[in-house]
Amino acid sequence: MATPLVVVEDLRKMFVHMGRELHVLRGIDLTIEQGEVVAMVGQSGAGKSTFLHCIGTLDMPTGGRIKLAGEDLTNLSSSKLASIRNRTIGFVFQFHHLLPEFNALENVMMPGLIQGRSRKELEPMARTLLSEVGLGERGTHRPGELSGGEQQRVALARALVLSPKLILADEPTGNLDTGTSEAMHQLFFEVNRKHGTTIVVVTHNLAFAQSMPRVVRMRDGRIEADERRGASLPDASTAAAASVAPAAEGAPASSRGAGATVDAADNP
């Protein structure tokens, strides 16, 4: 039976900007089950990132309720929220925010090192994750010595190092070329398959969104559509190849038209 990981009820977020109220989330109800892979799509300004930040405990809602892994986040202190965040969520952003003075392996270990865990404890996991994202041989490279796609793969490995139940990704391939994006997209499916991690991705990439089993479309701070496609995930061998072959980054775009934007589809 499906187990809810994220339960959102009547979620609202209002910003006050220059004395004016901006109602960015206007009553969102959404349940995400454990192990789901969900695309969040919609036009620019629809509130996708704000929604992601709220369920990621990076931003406080102004109304409604969020339950994460059974815990009601309402009225929790910032330190309690940080503790839930650290043990439950891994983040992947458009810009990877790797620390330039540390190598790939150290960057992957960093969330654990910050928590006071030992290098000895973290290193085997970090090495395994780097291998899973196809960078087993690049552990000693600093971010400046890696391509954009490789840096983003290090960021994905870093997001996984504390074994989160949930990965929240905000335009994780928005900064990458089409072929590199495709390899990264396959990696998300591979991570879901291998670790059972629930994944929520904000994306403008039509091909990526359409490959997801569930697509939630936002408009003006509300959910406009929530479609479960029943689509099978991409072929495991394709995903595995993408995860182990850095060369896949240079692979040509598929005929599905990766790189097209969902917004373009919104406004035919």
Ligand X SMILES: Nc1ncnc2c1ncn2[C@@H]1O[C@H](COP(=O)(O)OP(=O)(O)OP(=O)(O)O)[C@@H](O)[C@H]1O
Which parts of this chain interact with ligand X (CB under 6 A)? 15, 17, 22, 24, 42, 44-50
**Minimum gap (Å) between residue 36 Cβ and ligand X:** 20
3-state DSSP assignment of residue 228:
strand
**Minimum gap (Å) between residue 173 Cβ and ligand X:** 14
Q: Long-range contacts: 229-237, Cβ < 8 Å, 24+?
A: 233/37, 233/189, 233/192, 233/193, 234/186, 234/189, 236/193
Between CA 212 and CA 235 the distance in angstroms is 13
Is residue 104 within 8 A of residue 146, CB to CB? The reply is: yes
**Minimum gap (Å) between residue 46 Cβ and ligand X:** 4
**Minimum gap (Å) between residue 23 Cβ and ligand X:** 9
Q: How many CB atoms lie within 10 A of CB 242?
A: 24
The secondary structure of the chain in percent helix, strand, coil, rounded to multiples of 5, reads: 40, 25, 35
Q: Report the residue number, 47 or 179, with the smaller CB distance to ligand X.
A: 47
Between CA 197 and CA 37 the distance in angstroms is 8
Beta bridge partners of 21: 16
Between CA 205 and CA 250 the distance in angstroms is 18
**Minimum gap (Å) between residue 148 Cβ and ligand X:** 19
**Minimum gap (Å) between residue 226 Cβ and ligand X:** 16
Between CA 179 and CA 205 the distance in angstroms is 12
Q: Report the residue number, 44 or 75, with the smaller CB distance to ligand X.
A: 44
Between CA 24 and CA 141 the distance in angstroms is 41
Q: Report the residue number, 34 or 94, with the smaller CB distance to ligand X.
A: 94
Between CA 218 and CA 42 the distance in angstroms is 5
Between CA 158 and CA 89 the distance in angstroms is 11
**Minimum gap (Å) between residue 191 Cβ and ligand X:** 23
Q: Report the residue number, 103 or 205, with the smaller CB distance to ligand X.
A: 205
Q: Report the residue number, 50 or 192, with the smaller CB distance to ligand X.
A: 50
